[in-house]
Amino acid sequence: MQLALQLTSVLICILLRLPNHLAISHNIEPWLDTLEPTPTPTPWPEQFHALLYMNLTSTHLQLSDLWYDWPKGRNVNIFQKQLGVVLYDIEWNNGTSFYYTLGANATCEVIDFGVGIPRPDFLDGAHYLGRVVTDGFLCDLWEKVEFIWYYEDVATKRPVRWDFYDGISTHVMTYEIGAVLPDSVVQAPEYCFTGTVNGNAFST
């Protein structure tokens, strides 16, 4: 009897030391291995809008207005830096990305990454880690090439959160399938191509 109580106490201590988002594991439900196939990530819709809350590795926070549009070959992030500027990040499927701000002190940087935006099925081949609770949702969790950890709500199949290898954590606040950003919003301003704003030059 005493041995059983000691083992129970040890088990409780181990569970209490687990992080909140790893409190439930697929490994403690072995019957799922035989009764259900291993879950696979739901592909992203070809067009959607999401409001994201991001915790950066620099300890800073930001909001991201994400507009994903696979048919038009673009991915738009409009970042509101904490107590800072609004940064537009327009990514195209040809590998080119425009990072710019608006206003009198506008800046622009153009980068050719050599790769396009994520495909809707970019999580194909991800390794399934089990079911966990994060942000109050029971989620399936996958990891791919030790680069991204992706949490999907079991009930609705909506993304809840994803973390990157460098510690950046992204939490999905709203998720609207089929929403499309007007083309006029994603057109990079003229100074991204001329390098001047109000006659003042800056490096692009």
pLDDT in tens, 87-106: 999 999 999 999 999 988 89
In a domain, 152, yes or no: yes
Task: Return the structure tokens found at 149.
Answer: 């950890």
Give how far Cα 191 sits from Cα of 97, 109, 111, Å. 15, 10, 15
CATH of the domain at 82: 2.50.20.30
In a domain, 19, yes or no: no
Q: Which domain does 120 fall in, by range?
A: 24-204
Lowest average pLDDT, out of 6-20, 74-88, 146-160, 176-190, goes to 6-20
| pLDDT tier for residue 16 given thresholds of 50, 70 and 90 | very low
| Structure confidence at residue 199 (pLDDT) | 62
In a domain, 11, yes or no: no
Mean pLDDT of the chain: 84
Q: Provide CB contacts within 8 A for 89, sequence distance 6+.
A: 76, 77, 78, 79, 97, 98, 99
In a domain, 2, yes or no: no
In a domain, 14, yes or no: no
In a domain, 127, yes or no: yes
Strand partners, 55: 61, 169
pTM, 2 dp: 0.79
In a domain, 131, yes or no: yes
- Total number of domains in the chain: 1
In a domain, 17, yes or no: no
